[in-house]
């Protein structure tokens, strides 16, 4: 049975087949979860990301997990919120879908996501949670490998928004 769960915690400590990094388009590390993942994974991650020459918003790239308990890190730049009429919803859905597609291609059974674009990119949390959960549900209907998706939320407010989306 395929499942979506919501937990509160630190994504850098999650032992999943793949964790997703809410990256910026350079893939070179940054603030928030991106910086935390780069610090925890170690300097080899920077070198691995450098080879991609960046990644467009909504697309995804995969690297080894290096010093993390996860086998892989999937990097996806989510959209910066510009009021909602610049394709942000579709770009956010693409980030989740493309990340899951890569996870499926790399035989990942378990995938952990942070809340993409809701930090410094200012995507409205409730709206982002609904898009994320809807996109994940749709993907799981046809996924060949991915069986369990966990939303790893940094704080209680974020966890509540994702639990609401899962239960709606």
Using left for φ > 0, alpha for ψ between -120 and 50, and beta otherwise, residue 141 falls in alpha
In this structure, what token pair is assigned to residue 77?
Answer: 């730049």
CA dihedral of 118, 64, 28, 12, whole degrees rounded to 10: 40
DSSP letter assigned to residue 143: -
DSSP letter assigned to residue 141: H
DSSP letter assigned to residue 79: P
Among residues 10, 17, 34, 85, the one annotated as catalytic is: 34
CA 87 to chain centre: 18
**Beta-sheet pairing, 148-153 with 3-8:** parallel
- Please, what is the Cα angle at 160 between 125 and 120, to 5 degrees? 30
Query: Is 10 considered catalytic here?
Result: no
* Catalytic (active-site) positions: 34
């Amino acid at each position: 049975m395929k499942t979506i769960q919501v937990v509160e915690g630190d994504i850098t400590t999650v032992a999943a087949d793949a964790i997703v990094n809410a990256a910026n388009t350079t893939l070179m590390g940054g603030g928030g979860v991106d910086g935390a993942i780069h610090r925890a994974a170690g300097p080899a991650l920077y070198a691995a990301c450098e080879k991609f020459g960046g990644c467009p918003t909504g697309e995804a790239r995969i690297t080894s997990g290096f010093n993390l308990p996860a086998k892989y890190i999937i990097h996806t730049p989510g959209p910066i919120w510009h009021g909602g009429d610049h394709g942000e919803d579709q770009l956010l859905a693409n980030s989740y879908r493309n990340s899951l597609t890569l996870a499926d291609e790399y035989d990942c059974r378990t995938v952990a996501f942070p809340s993409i674009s809701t930090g410094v990119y200012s995507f409205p949390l409730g709206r982002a949670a609904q898009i994320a959960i809807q996109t994940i549900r749709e993907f799981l209907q046809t996924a060949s490998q991915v069986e369990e998706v966990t939303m790893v939320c940094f704080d209680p407010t974020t966890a509540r928004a994702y639990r609401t989306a899962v239960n709606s």
